[in-house]
Amino acid sequence: MRTIFLDKAFPDVYKALIAVSKQAEAAAESAGLQPLLLELVKLRASQLNGCAYCLRKHSRIALSMGESPDRIAVLSVWRDTDYFTEAECAALAITEEITLIADVTSGRRPADVDHPELTDAQVAAVRWLAIAINAFNRVSITSHHPVDPDAPAAPSAAAAPASSPDASPSSPDSEPPAARDIVEELSEFDAADNRDS
C-alpha cells in the first residue's frame, strides 16, 4: 500500500481542518471548559480510534500542562475510577458518543443524552472538539504518520505553561488558539514525522 500523507497532499484542506479545530477550541474556552478537560477529550477519542500519533502528542501536552500520569493511565477505564470530576466524566461520555457514533445510531450502545454537569454551550463545545479530534485521528491513521520513540516532544508542547489554553486536536501545538500559526504547525508536524517534502 502506498503511503500518502493527506496533510501534504492537500495542505489547504489540512489548514481548513486546523481552522475548524481552532474555532472549536475558542468555543470551548468561551464556554468555560478547562484546558486539561479538552486534552482528556482528545486522548479518549484517540484511544478509541487507535491513533498512536495523537495519543503520544496529547499525552505529552497533557503532562506538560500538569496532568497526572495516573489519570492518563486509567483514562480508557474512566467509568471504573474515581479520578475524574463529574464534568470530565460528562465530557468523556460525549466524546465516546461522538467517536462511536455508529454504535449509538445502530442501537448497539445507548446515547449519553443528558449531561447536567455541563451547560448547553459546554456540551456543544465538547461535541465540536470530539468531531475535530476524530477528523485529525483519521488523517494521521490513514496517512500512517510515523511514531518514532526517539522523537523529542514538540517544542511548543514541552514549553506550554500549565495554565495555557488547550492545543488543537492533533495539530502540533499547545499555545492559545490566537497565538498559533498554521505555517509553523505544518512545519512542526513535518519535523516530528521526519517526512520527505
pTM to 2 decimal places = 0.76
Enclosing domain of residue 107: 6-193
d(CA 119, CA 141): 32
Helix (H/G/I), strand (E/B), else coil: 148: coil
| Best CA proximity match to 64, nearest among 190, 189, 156, 136 | 156
Query: According to the model, what pLDDT value does residue 171 have?
Result: 38
Domain assignment present for 178 = yes
Q: Which amino acid is at 39?
A: E
Grid cell for residue 33: 471548559
DSSP labels for 153-190?
PPHHHHT--TTSPPPPTTSS--S-GGG--HHHHHHHHH
* pLDDT tens digit sequence for 114-160: 788 999 999 999 999 999 999 999 999 999 999 988 766 543 333 33
Backbone angles phi, psi at 28, to 5 degrees: -65, -40
Decide if pLDDT at 31 tops 50: yes
- Stated length of the chain: 197
Q: Across the chain, what does the average pLDDT equal?
A: 80
CATH of the domain at 116: 1.20.1290.10
Domain assignment present for 43 = yes
Domain assignment present for 1 = no
Q: How many CA atoms lie within 13 A of 11 on its CB side?
A: 10
* pLDDT tens digit sequence for 147-195: 988 766 543 333 332 322 233 333 333 333 332 333 344 344 444 444 4
H or E element at residue 113: none
Domain assignment present for 132 = yes
d(CA 84, CA 153): 26
Structural domain count, the chain: 1
Helix (H/G/I), strand (E/B), else coil: 192: helix
Domain assignment present for 151 = yes
| Residues above pLDDT 70, as percent of the chain | 73
